[in-house]
Amino acid sequence: MQLPSPLDLIKNTPYSEYTSFPVKLTGGFINHVWRLTNKNDGKSVIVKYAATELAGAPGEKFSLERMEFEARGLTLFCSLPEPLANDEILCQINELGKKIVSTPCVHVPRLLHYDKNVPFMVLEDVGDLKTYDAWCTATDEAKANSEDIEF
């Protein structure tokens, strides 16, 4: 399977200046993920691409709806626009999201761009943090002295 270049994915987005030092990130099993750096100011973003096969298990098919599900989930950590702000259940979920975001050591990246037709998304780069899996498998003592984690 031929993967698209992350630079091609962002070409027609507000993140087209992020063309320096594309780095493929490891540790993920589902999607293909890169860190891209803005050639002008050095800031970085994360580009995530959903192929029809699992990134960590080539040949294993997996629904592309996963990217839509993730994009919708990430929006629950943001302010709800009208008319969604009038939906009682979404408001309750959004309040839970705000509590998660305000929890020390937990960082939920902001969804900056999403293209469901490709499908790929651009996320805020929250830095080189311990993954959720690594944090969950750590001992209780290590968790008590834990670094921040990426959700």
Segment 39-72, tens digit of pLDDT: 899 999 999 999 999 999 999 999 999 998 888 8
Q: Which residues of 1-31 are buried (b: 16+ CB within 10 A; e: fewer)?
A: eeeeebeebbeebebeebbeeeeeeeeeebb
Residue 108's contacts (CB-CB under 8 Å, 6 or more residues apart) are: 74, 77, 97, 100, 101, 151
In single-letter form, the type of residue at position 148 comes to: D
Answer for the pair 34, 54: CB distance below 8 angstroms, yes or no.
Answer: no
pTM comes to 0.76
